[in-house]
Structure 1
């Protein structure tokens, strides 16, 4: 898929998923995202860039950690995600956060203007994730730190059947290299190539809890990467896809719901200086 087309697919796909993202993923992703936040060692007064911020799942705990003396800018390619995040943070009366519509591969910031850069589960969707990591390095201050969270290996993610299930019903090619960054030392090498030093990498598993079939289906089809393709399904196609996905996660049934394994990788590094 050509880069410009991939960006449009991602932009509009996440626009469609924005109403469902919180419900589908907030509770499930919290343990992994908490590990990411711990990795960057947040302190009061720091200026932080949250890249691919979505509805602000990571932005909120960052804002609490840096306090009113700190500053957070959240950026996302999806305008609907940004709109949703702004509404959430306005309702919570959080004043030290700003949200902007922006491409992670072309950050509209001066060099060396953030103490910390964070990317939670965004890199897998970019046409050129290496360029996004280079941009994160560019805008990080000397002595600053950056970290990224990605999904791990396909075989370690119990929900991964969603991609072939959708691809069999509509030509989507949503993210053909989705699991590449989480395989081996790929992401750590990308950080090294971008110029980061003192690189640390951690691979770990989290069980993603879902109480009902409906909750699992919303997360898989409406709250994530295949939302744009899913919109093309008629009711009969949806029913077939739902049944196939529920069958695929049966090994992870807890009796009252599901605990689906998800592998993650966190890589962090410092900018020299």
Structure 2
């Protein structure tokens, strides 16, 4: 059964329902499952950048939020080994079922899957060594409620590592796939605290939220990552359209003529990035994390 969002009582609840409806939309979930193998390749470098800051160690107990179709939990399971445990969480029942099927097929005994929202985690205090999230923190609404829950379920000295999109001007991804449509849309920028892909793109914004939530010794790194799509530009853009639901209003706001013009521009920009097998775009990502003395000690032992 799908979890149900509570009635709206204010701006934060409106944003929460918006994010909820976007990421449990059956069409979006179906597309995410259909594209899962190629998406894993596309986001592989992002997964690596996240786990490099997560301080994972053999035997760690890890919670991953907004786990999508199974990454990064599948990668994390291989790092922490059979003595560790990774819990993957999603709000969509269909995605939870998908991760469970992949876990069974892969024969991974230390990966558990639950249906849960980041702002209401069904775990006792001090349950995990590490909490991770790849490209999900932007949609937590309200974000402080989710961060408070993360802090609650972390063991004292545990580590949180969160990855989000950085500045859109850095790299070719936004310039080629999104800007041609955005520039023609005339859509006003959303409020700064709205659950959108670029919510934490301004430098320092992610660490500021972590500090506000009470995390100590927080850091933030920004790097331009390569996103390799194992296919042509047209396929990459179709994947983006079908799964990046927060951008759908931008794409669908254009007239037929405007859309054709924007699409032609996008393909012209993406064409040189296709080598006949792969389309490689780049984008800045930001990883915010807390130092986590417990994790550092465990990694040294």
How many equivalent pairs are there?
268
Q: Does 1:184 align with 2:184?
A: no
Residue 14 of structure 1: how far off its partner (Å): 4.2
Q: Distance in 1 between matches of 2:73 and 2:101?
A: 13
Where in structure 2 are the equivalents of 1:63-74 lying within 5 Å?
63-74=77-88
Q: Does 1:202 align with 2:216?
A: no
Q: Assess if the C-alpha contact under 8 Å between 1:148 and 1:268 holds in 2.
A: yes
Tell me what 1:52 maps to.
Answer: 66
Scaled by the length of structure 1, what TM-score is found?
0.84
Q: CA RMSD in A?
A: 3.2
Q: Does 1:162 align with 2:178?
A: yes
Q: Does 1:11 align with 2:24?
A: yes
Greater Cα radius of gyration, structure 1 or 2:
2
Residue 103 of structure 1: how far off its partner (Å): 0.8
Q: Does 1:268 align with 2:268?
A: no
Where in structure 2 are the equivalents of 1:45-194 lying within 5 Å?
45-156=59-170, 158-160=172-174, 161-162=177-178, 165=181, 168=185, 177-194=196-213
Tell me what 1:223 maps to.
Answer: 243
Tell me what 2:52 maps to.
Answer: 38
Residue 15 of structure 1: how far off its partner (Å): 2.0
* SS of equivalent to 2:57: coil
Structure 1 residues 225 and 21: alpha-carbon distance in aligned structure 2, compared to 1, 3 A threshold = farther
After the TM superposition, which of the residue ranges 68-77 and 18-27 deviates more from structure 2?
A: 18-27
Scaled by the length of structure 2, what TM-score is found?
0.77
* SS of equivalent to 2:113: strand
Q: Does 1:259 align with 2:247?
A: no
What residue ranges of structure 1 are gaps of 5+ in the alignment?
A: none
After the TM superposition, which of the residue ranges 21-30 and 155-164 deviates more from structure 2?
A: 155-164
Q: Distance in 2 between matches of 1:16 and 1:255?
A: 26
Structure 1 residues 148 and 255: alpha-carbon distance in aligned structure 2, compared to 1, 3 A threshold = closer
